[in-house]
A = this chain, B = another copy of it.
Amino acid sequence: MNNLNDRKKCILRAITDDYIDTAEPVGSTTIAKKHKLGISSATIRNEMASLEEDGYLYQPHTSAGRIPSDKGYRYYVDVLLELPRVTSEDNKKISQISDYKKDAIEKTIRRSTKILAELTEYISIAVIPEHRNAVFRHIQLVSLDLRNILVILVVDPGVIENRVLFSPRVFSPIELDEISSYLNQRLRGKKGEALTKTLLNELRNSVPEARDLISCIIDLVQEVLTDNDDEVLVADGLLNLLDQPEFQDLDKTKLVLSMFEDHAALAKVLFGLTQTSGAKVRIGEENKSPELKEFSLVTATYYHNGNNVGTIGVLGPTRMAYGRAISVVNEVALSLSELLELF
């Protein structure tokens, strides 16, 4: 694929840079003037025609300049792009991710997407750790008053779930402690898939006088560990889309934004991004989903204990500032992984 001569590379890079900058089709004279390549507009025109023939560029209509095609962007990203360093200003902002240290993992990720959206001015999305990989760590029952019992369920990595249960029967703190430690002993380290019916029934019947309470608790544990319909996707900066010149058409834009009302479906689209290290870039048609064919997606995974637990990234027009996006996404994923090591 590295089959372009140097001059073609320069021209393709110039056109792509310019188009990313201005959102206007780029003409040969513009290139000749702005980027002093030492060749005339006529020569550039010839090269452009050749690049178009090879599928790197296209014209929206005869009398317009050129726009990079998806193939063009792909070449740009793979071959031509030099990643800019993350500025210290950006780094300052990114470091805000760890500001609140150790609150729930989900909040941390929300904060990260928010920061990512602000930095890139695109839509920022994150897939949060799948609970089904989560492990039971600790449960604690606390008597708030006679009949209200606070259940605290701690799950690795970093999810803490609280629920206040109303119990018709009064339990003494000692009883609650006993129940807690029994459940802890039986459930510690278990994954959702390990919660077999046999086990659950055994637990339910273990303390006859607390059957109802334990039932409720088990439901909660199961709910948290098996992650039915819980939010798996976090998005921020949706409105940034309105600032992009290609989304001035309201109907089109509404269509896109309405995708974000069904987080579950969208998560599926964004899943299957299992990736090794570094940022992954999906450009336009490379996205399987037709709604995303005008979008590019730059994602990176973040880790917990060396395991790939989730994905974070940005979604923007194919005319995306790839360099900056990739740098920033990488940096954010890195910060997030570092922070999660502390959980």
Nearest residue, chain B, Cβ from A223 = B100
Chain B residues near A103 (CB-CB < 8 A): 162-163
Q: Is the CB of A160 within 8 A of B150?
A: yes
Q: Is the CB of B242 within 8 A of A250?
A: yes
Q: Is the CB of A144 within 8 A of B150?
A: no
Nearest residue, chain B, Cβ from A164 = B102
Among residues 151 to 201 in chain A, which have CB atoms less than 8 Å away from a CB atom of chain B? 152, 154, 160, 162-166
Nearest-Cβ distance from residue A181 to partner chain B, whole angstroms: 10
Q: Is the CB of B160 within 8 A of A154?
A: no
Q: Does A257 contact B (CB under 8 A)?
A: yes
A293 to B239, CA, bound (A): 22
Nearest-Cβ distance from residue A341 to partner chain B, whole angstroms: 12
A342 to B164, CA, bound (A): 10
Among residues 184 to 224 in chain A, which have CB atoms less than 8 Å away from a CB atom of chain B? none
Q: Is the CB of A142 within 8 A of B140?
A: yes
Q: Is the CB of A140 within 8 A of B152?
A: yes
Q: Does A238 contact B (CB under 8 A)?
A: yes
Q: Does A6 contact B (CB under 8 A)?
A: no
Nearest residue, chain B, Cβ from A156 = B144
A152 to B160, CA, bound (A): 10
Chain B residues near A250 (CB-CB < 8 A): 242, 248, 250
Q: Give the one of A152, A257, A343 with max B CB within 10 A.
A: A152
Q: Is the CB of B154 within 8 A of A102?
A: no
Q: Does A138 contact B (CB under 8 A)?
A: yes
A248 to B250, CA, bound (A): 7
Q: Does A137 contact B (CB under 8 A)?
A: yes
Q: Is the CB of A152 within 8 A of B142?
A: yes
Chain B residues near A142 (CB-CB < 8 A): 138, 140, 152, 154
Find A239's partner among B150, B166, B254, B343 (CB 8 Å cutoff).
B254
Q: Does A243 contact B (CB under 8 A)?
A: yes
Chain B residues near A248 (CB-CB < 8 A): 250
Q: Does A104 contact B (CB under 8 A)?
A: yes
Give a binary string over A213-250; 1 marks a CB under 8 Å from any B CB, 0 the rest: 00000000000000000000000001100110000101
Among residues 102 to 158 in chain A, which have CB atoms less than 8 Å away from a CB atom of chain B? 102-104, 137-138, 140, 142, 144, 150, 152, 154
A254 to B121, CA, bound (A): 14
Q: Give chain A's interface residues, CB within 8 Å of chain B.
A: 101-104, 137-138, 140, 142, 144, 150, 152, 154, 160, 162-166, 238-239, 242-243, 248, 250, 253-254, 257-258, 342-343
List 7 additional A-B contacts (Cβ < 8 Å) besides A103-B163, A150-B152, A238-B238. Answer: A102-B164, A140-B150, A140-B152, A150-B154, A239-B257, A239-B258, A243-B254
- What are 11 A-B pairs with beta-carbon distances under 8 A? A102-B166, A103-B163, A140-B150, A140-B152, A142-B152, A142-B154, A150-B160, A152-B152, A160-B164, A239-B258, A242-B253
